[in-house]
Amino acid sequence: MPQSNVTAEIIELPKKEFATIDFEITPEAVTNLVKKYNDLDLIPGDKESYDEVYRVYRKFVTVRTSTDKRRKSLGTDAREFVSRVNSTAKLLLAPLEPYEKKFRGMLDAEDNRGKAIEADRINKIDSLILDLEAAASFGLQYNRTADEIAIDLGCLETFEISSVDFEERTEEAERIKQDGITNTQRALKNRIDHEETQAEQARLRVEQEVEAEKLKTERAEFEAARVAEREKQKEIQELLDADNKIKEDEMFRLQAQLGAERRERDREAKKIADEQQAAIDADRKALENQQAEIREREEAANLKEYSDMWDEAERHNRVVINDSALAMDSAYNKTMAENEAILIKSLGALKARKKMVAADKKILISIANAYDKYISNTGFPEFKTKEAQEMALVLIGILKGTIHSFEESARELI
């Protein structure tokens, strides 16, 4: 701090002005006091010098205040006396005033310099404390990695705390550092645990995604296979239906053909029978006419001959013609019987297959229902993890879907 350059002129006080006024201090004492301390100065940073200046300053103040008190007590008797006392006191104290200001200035300057030094010292310590608190809180910031927290912990552990730097706040600094180390170590452990948990969860997620993709692929393959099987079954069924349709059409065609042939044979047989009957009727009519003529001409003589001829005609009509018709009818009936046997055999095979398919469908559907009921009635065990429970649910879903597809295929079996 700059030193004060205040210098007071030493004034010689007239003794006659104080002859009748007792101020408890003489002009000689004031003059000697000023001379004694005229060259007194304050050395910055020197406590003894500061104390000396302060002591002299207080001495000057004491002289001033005591004299002023004396002045007031002496000025109570008369206004004129008071005025004279005041002027005399002012004159008496005039040499002291500049020195009082000088010493007060020195003390104020030194006090301000000391305050500035103290403020600067405190600010430096506060700044160090803030740096230490920041170092102690770095590792506690949100979302810092374990490596970053480890670096923060190393920086905090190597943070040097000296009583030269922290002075009276050294203990506080040690406590802040130790608390920071403890909290940062805890944060580092928690972060390592968290990162290990995150890594494990990420690994499990990858495994679950792989497994889910695998199940998805398997399900897609199964579904594709099921669709392909259904298409195959559909094609087979279409072939069977087409074959059955062909067989049915062929059967109907054979039936129609056999019916038409039978009707044709019936018409032919009837025609032949009608023709034969007409021939027989014509022969019989002719014979009857001949017999009538013979009876008329030779009624008596030729009766036996005509009778024999009649018998021969009777035999001819009864045996020869009838045997031919019976033979044709027998052949026709045999053909119709054979065609009917073929038709009955085809219809029997179709009915037998339908009967067997119906029995098999009933068995397959009962198997599907039994397994579905078994799965539905089987309780879940208490899994420890959500992943195991999800895997069990996926398995149940696959089994249920397979059984459902199996039952649908069974119901579509023909």
Burial class (CB in 10 A: 0-12, 13-18, 19+), 338: exposed
Cα separation, 324 vs 327, in Å, equals: 5
Task: Indicate if 282 and 397 belong to the same structural domain.
Answer: yes
| Phi, psi torsion values for 165, nearest 5 degrees | -85, -45
- Say if 149 falls within a structural domain: no
Other beta carbons less than 10 A from residue 403's beta carbon: 19
Question: What is residue 94's three-state secondary structure?
Answer: coil
Cα separation, 230 vs 149, in Å, equals: 62
Those residues whose C-beta lies under 8 Å from the C-beta of residue 12, and which sit 6 or more positions away, are 31
CB 240 within 8 A of CB 414: yes
Q: What is the pLDDT of residue 20?
A: 47
Q: What is the pLDDT of residue 190?
A: 92
CA torsion sign for 346, 347, 353, 357 is positive
Query: For residue range 128-155, what is the model confidence (pLDDT) as tens digits?
Result: 899 888 988 888 888 889 899 999 889 9
* 152 closest CA partner among 141, 173, 138: 138
- Say if 155 falls within a structural domain: no
Task: Indicate if 120 and 245 belong to the same structural domain.
Answer: no
Q: What is the pLDDT of residue 271?
A: 80
- Say if 384 falls within a structural domain: yes
Task: Indicate if 126 and 206 belong to the same structural domain.
Answer: no
Task: Indicate if 211 and 344 belong to the same structural domain.
Answer: yes
Task: Indicate if 93 and 207 belong to the same structural domain.
Answer: no
Query: For residue range 166-222, what is the model confidence (pLDDT) as tens digits?
Result: 889 899 989 999 999 999 999 989 999 998 998 899 999 998 999 898 888 888 888
Q: What is the pLDDT of residue 302?
A: 58
* 284 closest CA partner among 332, 245, 327, 316: 316
Q: Which residue has the tokens 């500061």?
A: 50
* Domain containing residue 88: 15-130
- Say if 220 falls within a structural domain: yes
Task: Indicate if 78 and 218 belong to the same structural domain.
Answer: no
Task: Indicate if 268 and 381 belong to the same structural domain.
Answer: yes
Cα separation, 219 vs 20, in Å, equals: 130
Task: Indicate if 116 and 235 belong to the same structural domain.
Answer: no
- Say if 169 falls within a structural domain: no
End position of a domain, from candidates 70, 97, 130:
130
- Say if 143 falls within a structural domain: no
Task: Indicate if 223 and 124 belong to the same structural domain.
Answer: no
Task: Indicate if 114 and 241 belong to the same structural domain.
Answer: no
Structural domain tally of the chain? Answer: 2
**pTM over the 0.75 mark:** no
Q: What is the pLDDT of residue 80?
A: 66
Q: What is the pLDDT of residue 111?
A: 84
- Say if 7 falls within a structural domain: no
- Say if 259 falls within a structural domain: yes
Query: Averaged in consecutive runs of 10 residues, what is the pLDDT profile of the chain (414 residues)?
Result: 46 51 77 89 90 91 86 66 75 82 85 85 90 88 88 89 88 91 92 90 91 89 87 83 71 66 72 72 71 66 56 52 57 66 66 82 90 80 82 84 87 80
Cα separation, 197 vs 209, in Å, equals: 18
Task: Indicate if 112 and 227 belong to the same structural domain.
Answer: no
Task: Indicate if 125 and 238 belong to the same structural domain.
Answer: no
